[in-house]
Amino acid sequence: MKIGLWLRGFAAALIGGAVTSAAQSLAGGSVQLKQIKGAVIAGALLTVGAYLTKSPVSNPGPDQNK
């Protein structure tokens, strides 16, 4: 596994979660900075958590699943 590729995926999950959550918060009518910040942080943490759950770093290889 290449660490550079893994780090790009990690960064994409972090940024994607933050941007998506901010967009959803704004679309929902929230214009208070505190609520948008909370949504950005929560979205980033959730997507990074999902990425780490499915990443090759935390999962055993195919021959170790037996």
Q: Which residue has the higher pLDDT, 6 or 59?
A: 6
- pLDDT attached to residue 66: 45
The DSSP string of 2-65 is -HHHHHHHHHHHHHHHHHHHHHHHHHTT---HHHHHHHHHHHHHHHHHHHHHHSTTTSPPGGG-
- pLDDT attached to residue 57: 66
**Which pLDDT tens digit goes with each residue over 16-54?**
999 999 999 889 886 788 888 999 999 999 999 999 888
Q: What is the pTM of this model?
A: 0.73
Q: Which sequence spans correspond to the domains of the chain?
A: 3-54
